[in-house]
Amino acid sequence: MARHGGGQGWYGKLLGAALGVTVLATGASVWTAQAGDVGGAAPKAKPSVSAVKPVDVSIAHASEKGARGVNLTIDDGPDPNWTPQVLDVLREYGVKATFCMVGTQAQAHPDLVKKVVAEGHRLCDHTVSHDVTMDKQSPQYQAKQILDAERMITEASGGVRPMYYRAPGGAFTPYSRKLAASHGMRPLGWNVDTKDFEKPGADAIVATVQRELANGPTLLFHDAGGDRSQTVEALRRVLPWLKEQGYSCGFPVR
């Protein structure tokens, strides 16, 4: 995938001072208060010390399902036309996905955000405006993009928080990864870029998955940003193929 950030260093202190959060960095983990339920809903009361859990700042690729697990990730929505169709396909084949939502889209379509959550899928923060130059912007700009999107998505969902952060175009920075982790969102990468946004045809999208799945388990699709009929068709063919190959669809590691 494109441009990954690296390094650790002084960002924990910067976050605590600039953003008013408690960040205790230990190795590759940032310790932050997390809700206990699968959906990531915000706790009603401040958690005790015993409720604090580590959230890794490294970019996730692996699946919670293990070696034969696959992570379906759906980016850039929700979209009133294509998201319902993607959800129909996922429901038909009984699989779950992670929806990487753009803040303005979530704000515009809260009914779809709630539907995604109600059907058992997970949410991911994909920034407010999908700026693929995030890694070239100031920490203040990155923080506003990430935290405003987190708020928009959480409000649209009715209180369920995003569990991951995916930088647009893979434009992670050490700062953005630690900021996301300090808010309980694991940085999320991908292994197979289906290039469905280029509309290469359903055959090409399916072939890319079949050819590149050996690169790793996290697959990148889109449910917004244009005509996604090819994506919908490709999913109808990819999902039964994955099952035939002995794979099961789950969620990225946290």
192 to 68, 119, 134, 137, 196: CA distances (angstroms): 15, 24, 21, 26, 11
In eight-state DSSP terms, residue 160 is B
Strand-pair partners of 241: none
Query: Which listed residue (193, 196, 222, 223) is catalytic?
Result: 222
Identify the sign of the CA torsion 167, 123, 161, 81. positive
Known active-site residue 148:
no
User: Crossing angle for the helix pair 110-118 and 139-157, nearest 10 degrees?
Assistant: 70
Identify the sign of the CA torsion 181, 4, 75, 238. negative
CA end-to-end distance (rounded Å), the chain: 19
Contacts of 133 (CB under 8 A, 6+ apart): 171
Closest CA to 224 of 30, 82, 26: 82
Query: Which listed residue (61, 75, 130, 227) is catalytic?
Result: 75
Known active-site residue 222:
yes
Q: Give the pair of three-digit tokens for residue 175.
A: 């700062």
Please give the positions annotated as active site.
75, 222
